[in-house]
Amino acid sequence: MGSFRGVDYMHLDSLLTDEERLVRQSVRDFVDAEIIPVIKDCYNQGRFPSQIVSKMGHMGFFGANLKGYGCAEMSNVEYGLLMQELERGDSGVRSFCSVQGALVMYPILTYGSDEQKQKWLPRLQSGEAIGCFGLTEPGFGSNPAGMQTTARKVGSEWTINGEKTWITNGGVSQVALVWARTDEGVRGFLIETGTPGYTIRDIHGKLSMRASVTSSLSIEECKVPESAMLPLAKGLKAPLSCLTQARYGIGWGVLGAAMDCFETARQYTILRKQFDDKPIASHQLVQDKLAWMVTEITKAQLLALHTGRLKDQGKLEPAHVSMLKRNNVGMALECARLSRDLLGANGIMDEYPIMRHMCNLETVKTYEGTDHIHTLVIGERVTGVPAYK
């Protein structure tokens, strides 16, 4: 297969600026050169391709839509295209970048002290430091309001106790943003790896996101100075605002996985012959699947682009992002399943990217608000009635 040309059924490229297309092409080239050649082995071996971190930092991928501290200051549409291209490589690589930028750098920039910004943002931007975001707990996933991790103020220090799990980048991070319950509500704390009482254990046995590190964080009588708390992050709305940033990137990212699956299946069905030496692409049932995929990809591209333009205009609401995440992840997962089917037995092989994308997308459906939870957000938005409990 030649290098990736994207999927543009409706000339949507004409809606992008030259600069946006340039960003997309440079990330596309990066993915072809640095991710595609290694990702199959990384995935099979359950290993993150750590050699790309400093290169991604150098390319300006981390916190790319944030301002200052060496960040690339991309528009939100450019940032979305970056996520799209990275996820064409692998959802685990896009997750790495999402966590670093949207879940660690964004909260430090938005809610942190000057000292925290100076200390962490340049290092996180360059990839010299890696961060993780600890919200989920063993007993509280979809409902973070139930969190049991606590932080107690003792003199000039905070003592933190709790357990966080399913934490992307945990085992490769130098700093964790851990959310904990205090007397003043939920607050965020920057805990540095190596702090006594803070231990990280990687989760093994994943059949999805195998090229991404996922860990549990154990926090036992862990003492951090007052200066470790993000001063402006008050209440659960602070971590939720970070999730909105990350979900926005996911809504774009999954387009990359979906396009890769569609394009792989399209090319395969034209070449593969069955029954009287005819390409399987000549059968109506096969074309039905291809037509469904390219239609849904096109609709999802429009949704992502419009969401991005709204974000750039400062008009984007969390409930809009829920629609983007829910629709585009569901669409990508269905494209992966249909493409897998169209490749027959070859569809299960690691020679093709489809099964890897499909397994990864099962995680993407679950994390950052499950499909159900985003359905409830949209339901509440249109009825005014919350249905979470």
CB 189 → ligand FAD: shortest distance, Å?
A: 14
Show the site string, 67-106: x = touches ligand FAD by CB under 6 A, - = not.
--------------------------------x-------
Contact between 9 and ligand FAD by CB under 6 A: the answer reads no
Please tell me the distance from the alpha carbon of residue 17 to that of residue 73, in angstroms, as a whole number.
Answer: 16
Distance of CA 250 to the CA centre of its chain: 5
Please tell me the distance from the alpha carbon of residue 53 to that of residue 30, in angstroms, as a whole number.
Answer: 12
368 among known catalytic residues: yes
Contact between 209 and ligand FAD by CB under 6 A: the answer reads yes
Q: Which of residues 153, 201, 273, 372 is near ligand FAD by CB under 6 A?
A: 372
Please tell me the distance from the alpha carbon of residue 352 to that of residue 257, in angstroms, as a whole number.
Answer: 12
Please tell me the distance from the alpha carbon of residue 20 to that of residue 75, in angstroms, as a whole number.
Answer: 9
Among the listed residues 119, 127, 243, 135, the one whose alpha carbon sits nearest the alpha carbon of residue 180: 135
Half-sphere exposure of residue 237: CA atoms within 13 angstroms, side-chain side: 3
Q: Which of residues 87, 328, 363, 377 is near ligand FAD by CB under 6 A?
A: 363
From the candidates 20, 137, 296, 368, which is the catalytic residue? 368
CB 341 → ligand FAD: shortest distance, Å?
A: 24
Residue with tokens 């059968």: 283
DSSP code of 33?
Answer: I
Please tell me the distance from the alpha carbon of residue 98 to that of residue 91, in angstroms, as a whole number.
Answer: 10
Q: Is the distance from CB of 82 to CB of 193 less than 8 angstroms?
A: no
CB 363 → ligand FAD: shortest distance, Å?
A: 4
Among the listed residues 278, 233, 253, the one whose alpha carbon sits nearest the alpha carbon of residue 61: 253
Using CB under 6 A, which of the segments 1-9, 52-60, 68-76, 371-379 binds ligand FAD?
A: 371-379
CB 62 → ligand FAD: shortest distance, Å?
A: 15
CB 14 → ligand FAD: shortest distance, Å?
A: 36
CA dihedral sign of residues 332, 337, 339, 340: positive
Q: Which of residues 168, 193, 244, 328 is near ligand FAD by CB under 6 A?
A: 168
Contact between 218 and ligand FAD by CB under 6 A: the answer reads no
Please tell me the distance from the alpha carbon of residue 356 to that of residue 35, in angstroms, as a whole number.
Answer: 14
What residue type is 34 in one-letter code?
Answer: E
Contact between 373 and ligand FAD by CB under 6 A: the answer reads yes
Using CB under 6 A, which of the segments 294-302, 321-329, 360-368, 377-385 binds ligand FAD?
A: 360-368
Q: Which residue is nearest to ligand FAD (CB)?
A: 141
Q: Which of residues 110, 126, 142, 218 is near ligand FAD by CB under 6 A?
A: 142
Show the site string, 306-345: x = touches ligand FAD by CB under 6 A, - = not.
----------------------------------------
For the residues of 103-142, what is the DSSP string, one character each?
Answer: IIIHHHHHH--HHHHHHHHHHHHHTSS-EEEE--BTTBSS
Contact between 388 and ligand FAD by CB under 6 A: the answer reads yes
Contact between 133 and ligand FAD by CB under 6 A: the answer reads yes
Using CB under 6 A, which of the segments 69-77, 186-194, 263-271, 366-374 binds ligand FAD?
A: 366-374
From the CB of residue 12, how many other CB atoms can be counted at a distance below 10 Å?
15
CB 374 → ligand FAD: shortest distance, Å?
A: 9
Q: Is the distance from CB of 86 to CB of 31 less than 8 angstroms?
A: yes
Using CB under 6 A, which of the segments 25-33, 160-168, 264-272, 316-324 binds ligand FAD?
A: 160-168
Rounded to 5°, angle at Cα 60 from 56 and 65: 125
Query: Residues interacting with ligand FAD, by CB under 6 A?
Result: 99, 133-136, 141-142, 166-168, 209, 214, 363, 366-368, 370, 372-373, 376, 388
State the catalytic residues: 368
